[in-house]
Amino acid sequence: MATKRAEMSWVRRNRMTLTPLLFLTPGILFFTIYVIIPILQSFNISLYEWDGLGEATFVGIGNYQELMTDRAFEVSLWNNVKWLALYLLAIPAGLLIALFLNQTIVGIRLYKSLFFFPFVLSQVVVGLVFSWFYLPREGLLNAVLGVVGLGPINVLGDPTLATYGIIAAGLWPQTAYCMILYLTGLNAVDPEQIEAGRLDGAKRWRMLWHVILPQLKPATFIAFVVTIIGALRSFDLISIMTNGGPFGSTRVLSFYMFEKALSEYGFRMGYGSAISVVLFLIMLVFIGYFLWSMYQDEKAARR
């Protein structure tokens, strides 16, 4: 009896440490097994030549040296840069549509949802929809171009155009996402500040720049985060629309990695991992920045 009471009081005394520990354990366990450890393993695998089945041979930084002279890697990396730069257009485009729709006419709620709903489609469906849209003979794009006397153009068959065609498809749902972020943001803009701005004679652009945008900063931050992540994650669209072609011109790192490690082009797990490590390091720069911003907010909130 006495020991039991002692035990209970031990639990009771340490309950502020034990409770969070118990509540965190399952989540951390899952996350460690499926996310944290695999990241470290990938770093390790990237130092080996391995087909996924047989013995792995240690090659040190051999895979990375090979990357330096790999023309396809260079193309992929360069395409990633294009994706990053052009994907960011979703942010101003989303803001523009949000400003256009931030009114209170009849049925505006339905209009907003319909503008938003490309985001709910899977990238696979978006990819299919756009590859049919681009079809040289059956596609609507060339039907429209034909009316004004242009075309036909085979967007996805032309190595110089294909990547831009895919990015355009990706911008469609991403712009919708940014739009909804800004619409919610605009709802929360302080009407008194707008009034004050009006009294000071601020109109349209000056108002937008000096009064509205500063208040939309949280929305812009999230839009920035999700757009960068989205740009570097681009895989589904490429796989569906061109499968990396024509002539490998639409590959990005995420796709090239998959091709090297897990497709008919061979099972080079080590080389694939090296590519994914490079992609991870690029992402890490942005993740570092995001976390730093969030940390500043946390510190401010604590004060």
Partner 1 sequence: MFPTPIEKRPRSAQITYQALVPLALIMWLLPLIAVALFSIRPLTDFTNGNYWGLPSSFEFFTNYGKVFLESDMPQYMMNSILITVPTVIGAVALSCMTGFALGIYRFRGNLIIFFMFIAGNFVPFQILMVPVRDLTVSAGLYDTKLGLVLFHIAFQTGFCTLFMRNFIRALPFELIEAARVEGIAEWRIFWYVVMPLMKPAIAALSVLIFTFIWNDYFWAIVLTQGPDAQPVTAGITSFNSQFVAQYHLMSAGSIVAALPPVAMFFLMQRHFIAGLTLGAVK
Report 261-280 residues binding partner 1 (CB under 8 A): 261-262, 269, 272-273, 275-277, 279-280
- What count of other Cβ atoms lies within 10 Å of the Cβ of residue 16? 9
Q: Which helix (H) or strand (E) holds 48?
A: strand 48-49
Instruction: Enumerate the β-bridge partners of residue 266.
Output: 263
Q: Minimum distance between the CB of residue 68 and partner 1, rounded to whole angstroms?
A: 19
Q: Minimum distance between the CB of residue 142 and partner 1, rounded to whole angstroms?
A: 10
Contacts to partner 1 from residues 176-215, by CB under 8 A? 177, 180-181, 184-189, 191, 194, 204, 207-208, 211-212
Contact between 271 and 261 (Cβ < 8 Å): yes
Query: Quick one: 64 or 286, whose CB is closer to partner 1?
Result: 286
Identified binder of partner 1 from the candidate list 1, 2, 5, 17, rule CB under 8 A: 17
Q: Which tokens belong to 250?
A: 């639409």
Contacts to partner 1 from residues 70-129, by CB under 8 A? 99-105, 108, 111, 113-115, 117-118, 120-125, 128-129
At residue 297's C-alpha, the angle toward residues 291 and 300, to 5°, is 145
Alpha-helical regions (H) of 60-89: 62-69, 71-87
Q: Minimum distance between the CB of residue 130 and partner 1, rounded to whole angstroms?
A: 6
Identified binder of partner 1 from the candidate list 89, 145, 153, 283, rule CB under 8 A: 283
Q: Minimum distance between the CB of residue 47 and partner 1, rounded to whole angstroms?
A: 13
AA letter at 230? G
Contacts to partner 1 from residues 208-227, by CB under 8 A? 208, 211-212, 218-219, 222, 225
**b or e along 269-281 (b: 16 or more beta carbons within 10 Å of the residue's beta carbon)?**
bbbbbbbbbbbbe
- What count of other Cβ atoms lies within 10 Å of the Cβ of residue 57? 10
